[in-house]
């Protein structure tokens, strides 16, 4: 006999009258906030930093070069507008041509030797011999030292009377050389010091680029009979082109604005023989009793324009390389 299980009736849902009420509509989910707000929140500190420490100083420097600022007007802010007069004054100044030549020579020679020596050392340390890590760390010392310490050390080494360089030359029968006080040697002296300081940067960047090259390529080339020079010219150098490009660009921007080394060692002299745009800009703006803020800012803007032009050339070259 089949048993029928009777379930108790559920109580009616509704008011006291017992009429069933319609079920409440489900709660709508909140839409997630747009990810653009999060992106702007992360970008805001960087944007404020760039605006405060890059955009605003560039604007102020441009404003200085377009107005006739004195010490009083610099404080009060009522300098008259002069347009491009300060740039014309700089171009007509007899110091412009020598400073331009010295800037080009100083930048080009430093870039070539820093990159060449850094590349040779990077390839050398890429062999992973014993004590390679220790020696590589020692080569970083010039890069880690403050510039004032490095420049002061070179000033002492190249001193005409008590420098160690002239003492070493005297042991082989060569007379003392006025490295820092002779117009013929002052630019060479600051170039040598800057090369010594910049080599570690090139070494670090190029060494990291060598680590990304697969060793299987060298093994295959060795099996095909390629010697060390062929492996370098056919494999290492082409694959290092992207790293080399950014290394040279950063080195160019840094070398264009080198001021500490030249000013500490020679102050741009003697007779402007080692004056570059960086030291000339400082001399015009702060090196005289009556500072010429406008011409000094104009010279500084020329350096900014030069760095910007080379940066745009690099970006365009990288774009063409990607498209090809």
> pTM for the whole thing?
0.83
**Rounded-to-integer distance, Cα 190 and Cα 106, Å:** 8
**Rounded-to-integer distance, Cα 224 and Cα 111, Å:** 35
Sign, CA dihedral 215-216-217-221, equals positive
- Distances in whole angstroms, Cα of residue 56 to Cα of each of 49, 106, 256, 305: 10, 29, 21, 16
DSSP 266: T
| Contact in structure between 151 and 222 (CB atoms under 8 Å) | no
Which residue reads 């910007």 in tokens? 308
| Residuewise pLDDT in 10s, the chain (324 residues) | 444 444 445 444 444 444 444 455 555 555 555 678 888 888 899 999 999 998 998 998 999 899 988 888 877 778 888 889 999 999 999 999 999 999 999 999 999 999 999 999 999 998 878 888 888 888 888 888 889 999 999 999 999 888 899 999 999 988 889 999 999 999 999 999 999 999 999 999 999 999 989 888 888 988 888 888 888 899 998 999 889 999 999 999 999 989 999 999 999 988 899 999 999 999 998 877 778 889 999 999 999 999 899 888 888 887 887 776
| Contact in structure between 298 and 125 (CB atoms under 8 Å) | no
**Rounded-to-integer distance, Cα 206 and Cα 221, Å:** 21
Which residues, 6+ apart, have CB-to-CB distance to 243 below 8 Å?
Answer: 205, 206, 208, 209
- Which among 297, 206, 302 has a CA at the least distance from the CA of 246? 206
Angle at 267 between CA 66 and CA 115, to 5 degrees: 90
């Amino acid at each position: 006999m089949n048993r029928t299980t009777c379930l108790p009736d559920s109580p009616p849902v509704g008011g006291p009258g017992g009429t069933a009420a319609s079920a409440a509509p489900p709660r709508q989910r909140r839409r997630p906030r747009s990810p653009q707000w999060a992106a702007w929140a992360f970008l805001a500190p960087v944007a404020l930093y760039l605006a405060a420490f890059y955009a605003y100083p560039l604007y102020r420097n441009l404003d200085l070069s377009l107005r006739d600022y004195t010490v009083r007007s610099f404080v009060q802010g009522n300098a008259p507008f002069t347009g491009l007069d300060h740039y014309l004054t700089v171009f007509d100044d007899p110091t412009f041509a020598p400073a331009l030549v010295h800037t080009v020579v100083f930048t080009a020679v430093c870039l070539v030797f820093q990159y060449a020596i850094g590349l040779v050392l990077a390839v050398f340390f890429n062999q992973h011999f014993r004590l390679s890590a220790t020696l590589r760390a020692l080569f970083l010392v010039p890069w880690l030292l403050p510039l004032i310490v490095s420049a002061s050390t070179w000033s002492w080494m190249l001193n005409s009377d008590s420098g160690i360089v002239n003492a070493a030359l005297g042991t082989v029968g060569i007379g003392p050389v006025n490295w820092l006080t002779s117009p013929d040697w002052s630019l060479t002296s600051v170039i040598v010091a800057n090369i010594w300081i910049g080599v570690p940067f090139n070494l670090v960047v190029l060494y990291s680029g060598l680590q990304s090259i697969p060793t299987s390529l060298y093994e295959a080339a060795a099996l095909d009979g390629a010697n060390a020079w062929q492996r370098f010219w056919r494999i290492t150098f082409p694959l290092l082109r992207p790293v080399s490009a950014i290394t040279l660009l950063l080195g160019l921007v840094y070398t264009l604005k080198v001021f500490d080394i030249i000013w500490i060692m020679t102050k741009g002299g003697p007779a402007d023989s080692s004056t570059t745009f960086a030291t000339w800009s400082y001399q015009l703006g702060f090196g005289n009793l009556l500072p010429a803020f406008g011409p000094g800012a104009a010279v500084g803007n020329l350096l900014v324009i030069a760095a910007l032009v080379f940066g745009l050339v690099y970006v365009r070259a990288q774009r063409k390389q990607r498209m090809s």
